[in-house]
Amino acid sequence: MTFSIWLSLFTISMLGAMSPGPSLAMVAKHSLAGGRANGISTAWAHASGIAIYAFITLLGLAVMLHQSPMLFKGISYCGALYLAYLGFKALGSKGGVAHKLESDKAVSLKESARDGFFISILNPKIALFFIALFSQFVAVGAELSSKAIIVFTPFLVDGLWYTFIALILSNSKLLDKLRSRAIIIDKVSGVVLIALAIRVFLTV
């Protein structure tokens, strides 16, 4: 796998992790309610669910590419449309990152980890995102080392991003800065996602 291909993988993984949704709300809830340790526990349990999804999706798409190239191409185009949809949705956002920060009652580290894992493993939108993500990389990931990179990149990106969120939520000044720049983050993410969707259409 070349560095440019990995960089595309990293970029999409980062945008997927940054996208406001139930995962962000869950990490925020446990960070604000239980503290930094609870937030980090939620973050890495969530990333573990992401790694399982990534592994299963990669195997499924690889089999599909081998057995039915036309079906694989059709799913790749659907994935590109999904990326474009996420992009336009982000462009129309009014600061989704800030609006998803909410708290609840304090829980144990074990409960935080449990909630983080299940919010990722039971979210069908994550499955759709990985189909969109991996459809453009599965053909270049035939080697075992490439497959490992394709799986571990979103795992590490997701875990590190939500760890960052947990740290921000333990610092009120950083949280205020995030809120003030939430709309800019959404706009930039939207443009990049649409550009990546166009790339999929041109390369599949």
Whether pTM > 0.75 for this model: the answer is no
Measure the CA–CA gap between 70 and 76, rounded to whole angstroms. Answer: 10
Cβ pair 159, 91 in contact under 8 A? no
The whole-number pLDDT of residue 122 equals: 75
Measure the CA–CA gap between 199 and 63, rounded to whole angstroms. Answer: 23
Q: Indicate the residue type of 90.
A: A
Q: Which residue has the tokens 């992790």?
A: 17
The whole-number pLDDT of residue 102 equals: 47
Return the closest-CA partner of residue 154 out of 127, 178, 174. 127
Q: Where do the H-state alpha helices sit in 68-95? A: 69-91
Measure the CA–CA gap between 20 and 25, rounded to whole angstroms. Answer: 8
Q: What are the pLDDT tens digits along the chain (204 aa)?
A: 778 878 888 988 888 888 767 788 778 778 877 778 988 999 999 999 999 888 888 877 767 766 777 776 776 677 678 778 877 877 876 655 445 554 455 568 898 899 889 888 877 677 777 777 777 777 665 677 888 888 899 999 999 999 998 888 777 676 666 666 667 767 777 787 788 778 767 766
The whole-number pLDDT of residue 142 equals: 62
Structure tokens at 28: 């925020």
Q: Indicate the residue type of 132.
A: A
Collect all residues with Cβ–Cβ distance below 8 Å to 193 and sequence separation of at least 6: 12, 15, 83, 84, 86, 87, 90
Backbone angles phi, psi at 114, to 5 degrees: -60, -45
Measure the CA–CA gap between 140 and 159, rounded to whole angstroms. Answer: 25
Measure the CA–CA gap between 38 and 107, rounded to whole angstroms. Answer: 8
Domain tally, the chain: 1
Q: What is the pLDDT of residues 92-117, one digit of tens each?
A: 766 554 455 544 555 688 988 998 89
Q: Which domain holds residue 118?
A: 3-203
